Amino acid sequence: MDNIVKQALAKWPNVPDCYGWLGLDARGNWYMRDDRVQAAGPFARTLSSGTLQSKGSMLKHEKLIDFIQRNYEPDATGRWFFQNGPQKVYVELEATPWIWRINRGLGPGSDHGFAVTAHDGRAARALRCVLDEQGRVYLEADIGFGLVHTQDVALAADAVEAGVWMPQDVPSSELPQRFGYVPSPQQQHNLLHN
């Protein structure tokens, strides 16, 4: 966590939490969600056409994205948030808290020639490979649980074929509870407070 964030927490310890304003999609992109977008529906709601409704505006400012990612972590209940100064901004997850990129090659963090990196650039070591009923590939890693980026599924298949990862079948509906994350802190908050 940035020092400036720690100082703000000490100065203003009782700032209310923020829900629904920030989302992380299944490709590791961050989205800002204003009141109008939130009113259109939940972040990860898929329409019958297969497109997502109400994602919001994708963030493109590199320094803002870096700041969010440096201050991104879970609370004790598995709700992921961005600590924005004294305020926790809870993150709506389209898929999982981490989105993994896989690269071929040896080097730091490499697992038999398959290096795993989180959407924030952090190196991770895969501990378990998971497949859901739709064929999506996930990895439980030393820093948490996440979905493999769609562009890297072929590399994940190569790792499975090489015997580096042994996939386990887990229904997608069981993933949040089994791996300890809350996909929609806003929905959970609303259920508890309405």
Kindly give, in sequence order, each residue whose CB lies less than 8 Å from that of residue 72, ignoring residues fewer than 6 positions away.
Answer: 80, 81, 82, 91, 120
- Please name the residue that has the structure tokens 């562009």: 151
Strand residue runs (E) in 108-160: 110-111, 114-118, 123-124, 126-131, 137-141, 144-148
Is the domain of 91 the same as that of 10? yes
Indicate whether 79 and 131 sit together in one domain: no
Strand-pair category, 80-84 with 72-74: antiparallel
Please state the rounded mean pLDDT for residues 74-91: 94
How long is the chain?
Answer: 194
How do residues 90-103 score in pLDDT, each as one tens digit?
999 999 999 999 99
Better-scored residue on pLDDT, 43 or 53? 43
- Tens of pLDDT, residue by residue over 2-31, are 777 777 667 767 778 999 999 999 999 999
Note down the domain range covering 16: 3-95+180-193
Only one residue has tokens 């972040």, namely: 43
Same domain, 90 and 102: no
Is the same domain home to 89 and 185?
A: yes
Q: How many CB atoms lie within 10 A of CB 53?
A: 14
